[in-house]
Chain A
Amino acid sequence: GESVGLHLPTLSVQEGDNSIINCAYSNSASDYFIWYKQESGKGPQFIIDIRSNMDKRQGQRVTVLLNKTVKHLSLQIAATQPGDSAVYFCAENPGNQFYFGTGTSLTVIP
């Protein structure tokens, strides 16, 4: 099966700092990627997506970077806020289904 991993299981950042969450994927045929945020007791919530014809996409306070050469995806959160504390995980899609990473738990220190 697919292997979608994250470099760190936990990440703590100071409020106001930028956060970077990394993800490695294994299927070079994957052409669509999503970052999800999951707060405690809730279902995953879409943050941002990117297709393989792009290497960067920006949203509100978030940026996703895609490096297809090394099969690496990252999520950057600018000016991290307490409400950003959650588990973040990436998903890759080679065309038929999503494969999800195990998640990085982000804690924002006030």
Chain B
Amino acid sequence: DVKVTQSSRYLVKRTGEKVFLECVQDMDHENMFWYRQDPGLGLRLIYFSYDVKMKEKGDIPEGYSVSREKKERFSLILESASTNQTSMYLCACSRGWNTEAFFGQGTRLTVV
């Protein structure tokens, strides 16, 4: 089974802090994704990566950046956390573009 592991289940950060959310997958999948999930809005794509050191903006990239130095690891960075970034963050990976996406367990981030 594919395993997608997010480094934290819960995080509380202060406004203005730099926040790192880490995601590791163990199945050698090319594509990795970061989503945020908010009530009534569903999952929205922040950034995705289709190869090491490659990244593409999703639908809501503002206030975020990403890093993919190794194939198995995809990091989401909040350069200066704000309260409107309080959300559930979900990492996913997939082998191809039109194949199943596997999700991590999520990180619930609260910015105070």
Q: Which residues does A use to contact B, with CB under 8 Å?
A: 1, 4, 31-32, 34, 36, 41-46, 49, 51, 89, 91, 93, 95-98, 100-103
Chain A residues within an 8 Å CB radius of B104: 43
Chain B residues within an 8 Å CB radius of A36: 103
B59 pairs with A43, CB closer than 8 A: no
Q: Which residues does B use to contact A, with CB under 8 Å?
A: 4, 33, 35, 40-43, 45, 48, 58-59, 90, 97-98, 100-106
B60 to chain A: closest residue by CB: A1
Given A96-B97, A100-B42, A102-B40, CB of A42 within 8 Å of CB of B48: no
How many angstroms between the C-alpha atoms of A101 and B43 in the bound complex? 7
A34 pairs with B100, CB closer than 8 A: yes
Chain B residues within an 8 Å CB radius of A102: 40-42
A95 pairs with B97, CB closer than 8 A: yes
B42 pairs with A46, CB closer than 8 A: no
Contact of B98 (CB < 8 Å), options: A31, A45, A101: A31
How many angstroms between the C-alpha atoms of A102 and B40 in the bound complex? 6
Chain A residues within an 8 Å CB radius of B4: 43
Chain A interface SS verdict (over half) = loop
A4 pairs with B103, CB closer than 8 A: no
How many angstroms between the C-alpha atoms of A103 and B40 in the bound complex? 8
- What are 6 residue pairs bridging A and B, where the CB atoms are less than 8 Å apart in the complex? A31-B98, A34-B100, A44-B43, A44-B90, A91-B101, A100-B35
How many angstroms between the C-alpha atoms of A91 and B98 in the bound complex? 11
Given A95-B98, A97-B48, CB of A43 within 8 Å of CB of B42: no
Chain A residues within an 8 Å CB radius of B41: 102
How many angstroms between the C-alpha atoms of A1 and B90 in the bound complex? 20
CB distance from B57 to the nearest CB of A (A): 11
Contact of A49 (CB < 8 Å), options: B43, B90, B100, B103: B100
Chain A residues within an 8 Å CB radius of B90: 43-44
Chain A residues within an 8 Å CB radius of B98: 31-32, 51, 93, 95
